[in-house]
């Protein structure tokens, strides 16, 4: 467990708040005052104080003083400025955990002049404790710090460690951006239900339970999706007719291209922002 370790959040936006909420609601962090959040907006700081009981500041340097774990939760567009501000200011024995999309371990280490770096890529489902976070650590991260990383990420859902940092870029394209793709598919299913005559409430309930049940079935049976798909596809039946239209519309290719585009953009963001 984390015990009485002090945790600093650099950035108190949406994802930062979600992580704070999960750490406190799961009792991963026992006391709110063990967390300090730095955010440039005073109003945002006041909200986080009232909502979660955490300490706040508008000064990044003040936030990291004496902390054991620093969680970087800023937008890629401001990362270079934030790193320049914090360079050499983070305690030498502190662990830095980054959730900044596209920012490599080497870029973070050089920008902060700090060696113990963990790079992570969580997705939006961490909000309900069912997220997936792929992470990779620099060689300087100790076994204890790796354990602390796991404890934090397990409060968000499933954590997957990898030695290949490129896996994080791929995870961004598939798992992180993928939540947006799934929501679009859900939206399209609901709209289709309305088009054929269901009320929007009925269409949404049927769609959500259909998708949730399908996912649960795969978890329970461990069967390949093609096997399960064949089980519900009768010759000349309704499912076969619908699948024909999906294949005719190149659904597989469109999804593959979407993931590849997200991967490409992730790599561009990392390259562009580190050059500034």
CATH of the domain at 201: 1.10.3730.10
Whether residue 158 sits in one domain with residue 175: no
Phi-psi region of 108 (alpha: psi -120 to 50; beta: other; left: phi over 0): alpha
Residue 276 has pLDDT above 80, yes or no: no
Q: Is the dihedral of CA 215, 220, 222, 226 positive or negative?
A: negative
At 227-267, the pLDDT tens digits run 999 999 999 999 999 999 999 999 999 999 999 999 998 88
Structural domain of residue 135, as residue ranges? 7-163
Same domain, 57 and 103: yes
Q: Which of 163, 191, 211 is the last residue of a domain?
A: 163
Looking at the chain, the whole-number percentage of residues with pLDDT higher than 70 is 98
**The tokens 């239900």 sit on which residue?**
193
Percent of the chain having pLDDT more than 90? 90
Any alpha helices (H) in 122-248, and if so which ranges? Answer: 143-154, 166-171, 177-195, 200-221, 225-231, 238-248
Q: Give pLDDT tens digits for 69-122.
A: 999 999 988 999 999 999 999 999 999 999 998 899 999 999 999 999 999 999
Give the DSSP letter string of 15-78. HHHHHHHHHHHTTSSS-GGGEEEE-S-HHHHHHHHHHH--EEES-HHHHHTT-SEEEE---GGG
Specify the CATH number for the domain of residue 28: 3.40.50.720
Place of tokens 């990420």: 153
Residue 1: predicted pLDDT: 74
**Residue 271 pLDDT > 80:** no
Mean pLDDT, all residues of the chain = 94
């Amino acid at each position: 467990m984390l015990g009485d370790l002090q945790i600093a959040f650099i950035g108190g936006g949406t994802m930062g708040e979600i992580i704070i909420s999960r750490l406190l609601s799961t009792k991963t962090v026992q006391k709110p005052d063990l967390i300090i959040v730095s955010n440039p907006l005073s109003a945002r700081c006041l909200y986080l104080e009232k909502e979660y009981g955490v300490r706040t500041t508008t000064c990044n340097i003040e936030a990291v003083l004496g902390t054991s774990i620093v969680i970087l939760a800023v937008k890629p567009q401001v990362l270079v400025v934030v790193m320049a501000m914090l360079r050499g200011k983070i305690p030498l024995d502190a662990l830095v955990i980054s959730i900044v999309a596209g920012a490599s371990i080497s870029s973070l280490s050089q920008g902060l002049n700090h060696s113990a770096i963990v790079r992570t890529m969580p997705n939006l489902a961490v909000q309900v404790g069912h997220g997936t976070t792929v992470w990779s650590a620099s060689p300087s991260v100790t076994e204890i710090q790796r354990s602390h990383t796991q404890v934090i990420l397990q409060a968000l859902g499933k954590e997957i460690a990898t030695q290949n940092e490129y896996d994080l870029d791929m995870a961004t394209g598939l798992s992180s951006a993928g939540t947006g793709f799934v929501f679009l598919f859900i939206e399209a299913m609901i709209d289709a239900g309305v088009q054929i005559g269901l009320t929007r409430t009925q269409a949404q309930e049927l769609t959500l339970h259909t998708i949730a049940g399908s996912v649960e079935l795969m978890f329970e049976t461990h069967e390949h999706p093609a096997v399960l798909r064949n089980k519900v596809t009768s010759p000349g039946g309704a499912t076969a007719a619908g699948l024909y239209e999906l294949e005719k519309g190149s659904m597989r290719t469109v999804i593959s291209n979407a993931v590849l585009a997200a991967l490409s953009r992730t790599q561009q963001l990392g390259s562009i922002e580190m050059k500034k």
